[in-house]
């Protein structure tokens, strides 16, 4: 995901991809979005995120969207089925999520700008992923 695509969700919601002033969520859609935001804030607070700025929330929402989009694209091009990958003992579905988590391995445990620490960038999106829950047979 490019930096341009990671601009705050709130700004995109109010200005759209063209930057023109237009509220893209109104009425019930806006209320539903705001309720979802509250759920994300509560979830990430329970995971240990103490910062409550809109930019941090927007980045966490973007991470959740990104893993879903990436998985959908990967699945569309994956024809390995449930074959175990040699040396890993994982089927391709599980290997996708392990690779996602390993991508966020870092020596630094400090927050970085508007992003949560790496651990939360793994835990949050994977807790919210039905595909992850299905792959590892855990409750969703």
Segment 31-76, tens digit of pLDDT: 888 899 999 999 999 999 988 888 899 999 999 999 999 999 998 8
Taken in order 57, 58, 63, 64, is the CA torsion positive or negative?
positive
pLDDT at 87: 87
Average pLDDT over residues 86-108: 87
pLDDT at 114: 86
pTM of the full structure = 0.74
pLDDT surpasses 80 at 77: yes
pLDDT > 70: percent of the chain: 76
pLDDT at 8: 45
* Neighbour count for residue 140 (Cβ, 10 Å): 10
pLDDT at 5: 40
């Amino acid at each position: 995901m490019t930096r341009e695509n990671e601009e705050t969700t709130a700004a995109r919601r109010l200005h759209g991809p063209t930057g023109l002033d237009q509220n893209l969520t109104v009425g019930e859609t806006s209320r539903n979005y705001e309720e979802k935001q509250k759920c994300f804030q509560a979830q990430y607070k329970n995971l240990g995120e103490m910062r409550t700025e809109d930019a941090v929330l927007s980045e966490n929402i973007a991470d959740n969207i990104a893993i879903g989009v990436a998985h959908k694209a990967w699945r569309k091009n994956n024809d390995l089925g449930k074959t175990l990958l040699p040396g890993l003992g994982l089927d391709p579905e599980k290997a996708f999520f392990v690779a996602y988590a390993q991508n966020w391995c870092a020596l630094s445990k400090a927050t970085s700008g508007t992003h949560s620490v790496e651990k939360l960038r793994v835990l949050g999106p994977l807790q919210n992923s039905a595909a992850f829950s299905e792959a590892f047979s855990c409750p969703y």
